[in-house]
Amino acid sequence: MEENTLIQLRATSAVLQEYGEEVARFYREELDKDDRVASNALINSVEARIARDGQTYLVQLQLLDYWKYVEWDTKPHWPPPSALLQWIKVKPVLPRPDKNGRLPRPEQLAFLIGRKISRVGTKGSLSLTHTLAEVNTRYEALIADALAEDLGDTVHGWIIEYLCQ
């Protein structure tokens, strides 16, 4: 099929770009609202990209690798102590005195937090799941309308091309 006979998805491309930007914006807000912000690294990594391969469009969200641990529950495990120490410093986690009034050192605090995670795991935020449910609901009709517009424009162009032969 010649290039001029393929459907041109101008309106759809524009709506998908807007959709990707809305997913990124809403996800950042959800992470902030759910208090899943320590260093802002995950929030700052959120970026939407639209890729096209012929007539196929792909909306991708670029995120730091650890997004999945924030999103979903984790099973009990021993997290890396260095990661916990970094999190304690960045968050910051303020230790509470024990029954004798002593404050735990950061290393002790990391051990205590790690021990709890080793027993119960972590609770996921489901921030991205909620984001996609919310934004998809709003954009389903817009994407369908854009596809219909593009299809109509293409068919109209084919008719004009046929009549002008």
Can you give 67-94 as a three-state secondary structure string? HHHHHCCECCCCCCHHHHHHHHHHCCCC
For the cut 70, the answer to whether the pLDDT of residue 4 exceeds it is: no
43 and 8 both lie in a single domain: yes
Are the C-beta atoms of residues 125 and 34 closer than 8 Å to each other? yes
Give the domain extent around 95.
Answer: 74-122
What's the whole-number mean pLDDT along residues 90-111?
Answer: 89
Gap between the Cα atoms of 165 and 162, Å rounded: 5
Please give the pLDDT value at position 145: 94
Q: Are residues 58 and 134 in the same domain?
A: yes
Number of domains within the chain: 2
Q: What is the CA radius of gyration of the chain?
A: 24
- Token output for 110: 């990391």
The pLDDT score that the predictor gives to residue 156 is 67
In sign, the C-alpha dihedral spanning 131, 46, 21, 7 is negative
Do residues 130 and 61 both lie within one domain? yes
pLDDT given at position 135? 97
